[in-house]
Chain A
């Protein structure tokens, strides 16, 4: 766990009181206490944060610029429209090809040891952020339900609540949002189920109360407001694969050398910076994940 200078620490009593069990974890204290202090602290060297000199995006940036089509396609309006979204009570059904399928209440999920992970998030549109997530590896949850041998993929589904999510009333999209991972991707150490952000509970506009974070894939793979996780045999068909099959593939790994059919992915704009940065293979996580795709034609499997 990374340590944070005390000058940057803002106690988050609300957060801590809601998650007292985390206090017992001790070492997590510092991470949990990292509040949204307005200033953007410089990220200390962290293998998961990648390049030196990368700064965390501010809480403000992360919570006011959101791609969340369930609410609206206008990134700036998501926060306001999502303000009254009910995140409690919340249940997630985890099942499919599992020995012990079960429904988890959010409180059950918060019992998994929560840790901070600083990840780059690269949107397929060509912008990126550095975000301090809080959560736990998906593989711990999958281990609880014990995938059967036949399970080869994981399918995720977002809540369907058109009365609270105005974007879901738009019939143009085949709601609910669906995403999928190969089982080995889902079991990878970097694959996170996020419950928090900047040491606080996740905000609705960022996918509260539970979202996926797969840092080496384009942002749309990191499905929000998850209510269902199924182990399945066949590769799930995601919403974006349905909407534009020739533009959005199952893998969606960040790759500067494989352009989107209509635009280059060679560079990106880091939110908060002018100009552009080169996009890194697997969003800078090649060392950790490239082996997953050995022998796979990344151009054909975009």
Chain B
């Protein structure tokens, strides 16, 4: 029984390393000469798309948990976010080294004259501190500032979409990514107000429902029953973890505090090894 549970909990954490697949395929294509006649553009495009897709997947974890009760998704936010950052770094390396040969004049000109370059660099600049503070130690040291800092992920994601929108010849594909981002952001906000967890626990749709949220916050695992399961087998139940991070249990009425649940790239204790 427990083994089965452990297995069920383990597979997403193993599957998350499929994030390395786009890189493996890129290396394979490069080694076997299957890149196009414009390999630098191939590398730029493929690392960029992987970074964007992984960032969106990272941002999808919280809504998946809250809407569908997929508690396991929460643990994937950090590895997905960090894998996204890995591809961002590769993307930037291709741009600066392979494409612009580290020529400061050309790079400066590109930044000044190509606004998509500026948007991309801004997105990188926002993601960098998030990656650097993704350790549990940094989380502890920063305390409540950690969550505020990590809200930068929304701006970084928006800039990444803008980066794509501004460089693409045709707006359709980047616009689709923009729509995905908007959906992922909206998937959090109305929930907070109407209290999805409240509905799940059968409470009436009024202020009276607040206590239900305080007990089983949507971010912590959707339905109470699943939370119980979760708590049983998890080394550190999600709720306890949050409790340890700061005083937030009874603040359900304040939207600003609810936003704390939106932070991404949050370290999860039994998380997988990171790149």
Which of A's residues lie within 8 Å of B, judged by CB?
Answer: 57, 60-61, 64-65, 73, 75-76, 124-125, 127, 172, 243-244, 259, 262-264, 266-267, 269, 271-272, 274-276
Contact = CB atoms under 8 A, between A and B. Distances in A.
Contact of B41 (A57, A269, A272, A274): A269
Contacts of A172: 170, 172
Contacts of A64: 36-37
A65 B99 contact: no
Contact of A262 (B41, B100, B114): B114
Interface of B: 36-38, 40-41, 98-101, 103, 106, 109-110, 113-116, 166-167, 169-170, 172
Given A60-B37, A272-B37, 10 more contacts: A124-B169, A244-B170, A262-B114, A262-B115, A263-B115, A263-B167, A264-B110, A269-B99, A276-B99, A276-B101
A243 B100 contact: no
Contacts, number: 58
Main secondary structure of the interface of A (DSSP, over half): loop
A244 B36 CA distance: 27
A65 B37 contact: yes
A299 to B, nearest CB: 14
Given A127-B41, A262-B167, A274 B101 contact: yes
Given A127-B41, A262-B116, A276 B100 contact: yes
13 contacts: A57-B37, A64-B37, A65-B38, A75-B38, A124-B169, A125-B169, A127-B38, A127-B41, A263-B113, A263-B116, A267-B106, A269-B38, A275-B100
Given A75-B36, A269-B40, A275 B115 contact: no
Nearest to B110: A264
A76 B170 contact: no
Nearest 5 Cβ contacts at the A-B interface: A264-B113, A65-B37, A61-B37, A76-B36, A263-B114
B51 to A, nearest CB: 19
B36 A274 contact: no
B53 to A, nearest CB: 17
A274 B169 contact: no
B203 to A, nearest CB: 47
B166 A262 contact: yes
Contacts of A76: 36
Contacts of B101: 274-276
Contacts of A264: 109-110, 113-114
A271 to B, nearest CB: 5
